[in-house]
Amino acid sequence: MTLEQMLGLAPVVPVLVIEDAASAAPLARALVEGGLPVLEITLRTPAALDALRRIAGEVEGAVVGAGTVLTPAQAEAAARAGARFLVSPGFSPQVSRAALAPLLPGVATPTEALAALEAGHALCKLFPVEAVGGRALLKALQSPLPQVRFCPTGGITEANAPAYLELSNVVCVGGSWVAPSDAVAAGDWARITALARRAAGLRGGASRRTA
Ligand code: 3PG
């Protein structure tokens, strides 16, 4: 599956910070059951690589990737742990060259989007989208950069996601709201499945509209 195909599977990619690897598989199952199979495990905790490995090995239907990939070493470790895709908050040519799985680089400006495109990335994370211009920025990029499509992340909620998803240059959105840390800590998988189900039902996604 190409990166675009993976990111086209659902309108929302949960951005997950996993503190305890034992919660990884039940959390992933709850999200997949709610209709969100594409999961980003951020490499921000000591448990992250183990969590990735467990989801990749144990959770049927999950398409798991690694987020917060900052270095070539992390890119390599994540791919070896089973990451099907890699996400970085910024665009690093070194990470791009080292990536053993498709990379979704982060960009926040037209210059960065152009640099990412030159390195072969026609699909970028726009981060942190609410802080750098939100929907207006994405709309402004449509005309000068029609080849680039985005997964905006950073400040997206159930309330503002639909307005992003209706833009033609948005493939999906990323966000942490579908897996609140208190629900994960409490093992409240039913609440997470309910949040995922609502997120999976959000309309939009350029790939869906043109399919
Ligand atoms: C992140 O990298 O933390 C993601 O962009 C998630 O952002 P959010 O918590 O605002 O959804």
pLDDT tens-digit readout, 36-95:
999 999 999 999 999 999 999 999 999 999 999 999 999 999 999 999 999 999 999 999
Residue nearest to atom 9 of ligand 1 (CA): 176
Q: Is residue 144 part of a domain?
A: yes
Residue nearest to atom 8 of ligand 1 (CA): 154
Q: Is residue 200 part of a domain?
A: yes
Q: How far is the CA of 175 from the centre of ligand 1 (A)?
A: 5
Q: Is residue 77 part of a domain?
A: yes
Give pLDDT tens digits for 162-172: 999 999 999 99
User: Which of 125, 119, 109 is CA-nearest to residue 174?
Assistant: 125
Q: Is residue 197 part of a domain?
A: yes
Q: Is residue 210 part of a domain?
A: no
Say whether pLDDT at 204 is over 70.
no
Residues with Cβ within 6 A of ligand 1?
15, 127, 153-156, 174-176
Residue nearest to atom 11 of ligand 1 (CA): 175
Per the listing, tokens 């989208």 go with 129
Question: What is the pLDDT confidence band of residue 193, given thresholds at 50, 70 and 90?
Answer: very high
Say whether pLDDT at 205 is over 50.
no
Q: Is residue 92 part of a domain?
A: yes
Q: Is residue 131 part of a domain?
A: yes
DSSP secondary structure string, the chain?
--HHHHHTS-SEEEEE--S-GGGHHHHHHHHHHTT--EEEEETTSTTHHHHHHHHHHH-TT-EEEEE---SHHHHHHHHHTT-SSEE-SS--HHHHHH-SS-EE-EE-SHHHHHHHHHTT--EEEETTHHHHTHHHHHHHHHTT-TT-EEEEBSS--TTTHHHHHTSTTB--EEESTTS-HHHHHHT-HHHHHHHHHHHHT----HHHHH-
Question: What is the pLDDT confidence band of residue 208, given thresholds at 50, 70 and 90?
Answer: very low
Percentage of residues in the chain with pLDDT exceeding 70? 96
**Mean of pLDDT over the chain:** 95
Q: What is the CATH number of the domain that holds 138?
A: 3.20.20.70
pLDDT of the residue at 8: 96
pLDDT of the residue at 27: 98
Number of independent structural domains in the chain? 1
Domain residue limits at 105: 3-205
